[in-house]
A = this chain, B = another copy of it.
Amino acid sequence: MGERCFSTTERHNQANIGQEEDFEAAKKKAVDLGAKKVFIEDLRSEFVEDFIWPAVQANAVYEDRYLLGTAVARPCIGRRQVEIARKEGAQFVSHGATGKGNDQIRFELTCYALYPEVKIIAPWRIPEFYNRFQGRKDLMEYAQKRGIPVPVTPQAPWSMDANLMHISYESGILENPKSHGPADLYLMTKNPEDAPNTPDVLEIEFTNGVPVKVTNIKEGQSKDSPLEIFSYLNEIGGKHGVGRIDIVENRSIGMKSRGIYETPGGTILFKAHLDIETFTMDKEVRRIKQALSIKFSEFIYNGFWYSPECDFVRHCITKSQENVQGRVQLSVFKGQVYILGRESPKSLYNEELVSMDVQGDYDPCDASGFIRINAVRLREHHRLQSLADNKQ
């Protein structure tokens, strides 16, 4: 229920960040439940440009695997919620995230950062509420009894969170980390076994580390606005079953949880960006940027998108992307993304310099000195060890 945020029951606001949802029904439901004002906001474009793009530039990935599809959506929703709350003069905001999860933190830190005086109502942390509703099951029963439609029916014994970037599945039967995710879980991607037997080949063009155009080489089709590019990558990735992972991750509050995610377009972009970045970025800048990206990913995961440290790191990462420009060709097939080739006017790749067949402006003798100087320290270390060994 993460993406639904209430600023008291008086006013209800809900973000369209690309999830499949009947927003008219949502509006009606809110009104039926007593909301005096309902805001349904289409945040899809700003979600892509202001949140997904920076994550792409960073190669943001949490604990080596999770592309942060839920985590980047939270500050996007929270930002708008706060804007509306301020405009409407609301002193309270509310959300439906649980008391054990990450989303409560992401929403609330966003709110506190952008609207420090705000008061937050989190029903799942109010004893009167959570004692009455012990887990999702009680809530489902209550909702059914009162005629409130809810997305998680007893037939789907897990919860999910969907947006333009990904769908996450967790809890319920997925809480047993050993049990395999059921085949009918996935809504965004085809089962790779059922995916087409021929790949799609895409060319993605980057400027400043963000995609500016995607072209389907065979079909000739291309997209060049952020939302269209990302949606198209989702379409192609979904069709080929790209971006499914089943992981155990460490939550902000220190417990391990199991989640299954599908991130079709994000996975394609992650791989493509990694390629064009390494192609165009200086080796040592890359090392520093890699460390900054790990921090950036942790900040996002932990809800600190709107924080001085995240601002700072985002600024640094943006700076690092100035030359990340060029085109990557890749094929998408049966759950995999294969980089095929790349080109760039800004590349530091020098075919002549690296060639085995051309000497170029490079003297191999220099390498001897380079190696021997690097060995000075190693040889000294060996000398000391030998002394120590001889003494024993």
Bound: A109/B278 CA distance, A? 23
Q: Among A159, A192, A304, which residue has the most Cβ atoms of chain B within 10 A?
A: A192
A355, B255: Cβ atoms closer than 8 Å: no
Q: How many A residues have CB within 8 A of the partner chain?
A: 132
With A177-B342, A335-B336 known as contacts, the answer to whether A100 contacts B356 (CB < 8 A) is yes
8 Å CB contact of A176 from B298, B351, B356: B351
Q: Is B113 within 8 A of A349, CB to CB?
A: no
**B113 to A341, Cβ gap below 8 A?**
no
**Would you give 30 A-B contacts (Cβ < 8 Å), ordered by A?**
A63-B286, A64-B290, A99-B364, A104-B367, A105-B367, A112-B372, A116-B378, A135-B356, A135-B358, A159-B356, A171-B355, A181-B340, A193-B199, A245-B339, A246-B340, A248-B342, A254-B283, A256-B354, A258-B354, A283-B377, A284-B307, A284-B308, A284-B309, A285-B308, A288-B312, A307-B381, A308-B381, A315-B316, A333-B334, A335-B338
Q: Is A59 part of the binding interface, using a Cβ–Cβ cutoff of 8 Å?
A: yes
Contact B294 A290 (CB under 8 A): yes
- Using CB atoms, name the residue of chain B closest to A246: B339
Given contacts A178-B341, A279-B256, A354-B257, contact A380 B348 (CB under 8 A): yes
Scan A363-386; emit 1 where CB is below 8 A from any B CB, else 0: 111111111111111111111100
Copies of this chain held together in the complex: 4
Q: A384: which B residues are within 8 A, CB to CB? A: 323, 346-348
Complex formed: what's the CA distance from A335 to B130 in Å?
45
Residue with the greatest number of chain B CB neighbours at <10 A, chosen from A338, A343, A346 = A338
Whether the pair A313, B338 counts as a contact (CB closer than 8 A) is: no
Is B349 a contact partner of A177 (Cβ separation < 8 A)?
Answer: yes
Q: How far is B346's CA from A284's CA once the two chains are assembled, in angstroms?
A: 33
**Shortest 4 CB-CB distances between A and B: which pairs?**
A369-B369, A99-B364, A254-B377, A135-B357
A274, A338, A357, A373 interface centre (most CB from chain B within 10 Å): A373
